[in-house]
Amino acid sequence: MKLSLITASILALCLGACATSPPVMMDMLAEDTAAFEDQALARWMEASAAIGNMTDEEERAALVAELSDRTSIVRQEGHGVYVEYTAPDGRFFLWYPLNTSVEKGTWSIADAGSPPEACFKYKDSYHPLTGEFEPEECVSAVQIIGSVYEVGSREGDVFELGTKGIPYAKTAEDLPA
């Protein structure tokens, strides 16, 4: 994926950030967004091929490994850029655009059915962009294991969402740092 020099620099800051840093607000450029969507499709295809060779147990283990103690910066069409921290104990913290507080919930791997999915249950979650209440969402293993919509990720609670809440209210395309 080709990113502009400015966006690439901000991305580097995102991955090395700590919650005590002052906010650096930089929106993804339109060309970066289009390139990111192309890269997401390529990641989806690669992950689909890799997962096709896994057993359900291997998929479940890979999902847990991807989600345990991880901060991810994610960009999805219709949602924009958001940050999520998935704690190893199954708690979940979301820094979502336009929200003034962290969304809390839990994550787990769906036991029933095949293929395995990662499921997220939100407590009192209100989607400020669509106006909908979204109490639960399950995501395919391909999306999580392939880091399909991830702008970047890092081990640990980088922005301290689980202990301090959101550092500042962000826009939908703001890359936090």
Over residues 51-74, the pLDDT tens digits come to 888 888 898 999 999 999 999 988
Helix H or strand E encompassing 35 = helix 30-51
The pLDDT of 125-138, averaged and rounded, is 66
Question: Which pLDDT does position 135 carry in this prediction?
Answer: 67
pLDDT tens-digit readout, 133-165: 566 888 888 888 888 888 888 999 999 999 999
Q: Which domain holds residue 62?
A: 5-175
| Domains of the chain: total | 1
pLDDT tens-digit readout, 80-107: 889 999 999 999 999 988 888 898 999 9
Q: What is the pTM of this model?
A: 0.71
Question: Which pLDDT does position 108 carry in this prediction?
Answer: 93
Q: Which residue has the higher pLDDT, 124 or 140?
A: 140
Averaged confidence pLDDT in the chain: 76
Question: Which pLDDT does position 100 carry in this prediction?
Answer: 87
Beta-sheet strands, E only, within the chain: 26-27, 70-76, 80-86, 91-95, 103-109, 117-122, 136-140, 150-155, 174-175
Q: Which residue has the higher pLDDT, 117 or 47?
A: 117
Q: Between the CA of residue 23 and those of 126, 159, 161, what are the distances in Å?
A: 24, 11, 14
Question: Which pLDDT does position 2 carry in this prediction?
Answer: 35
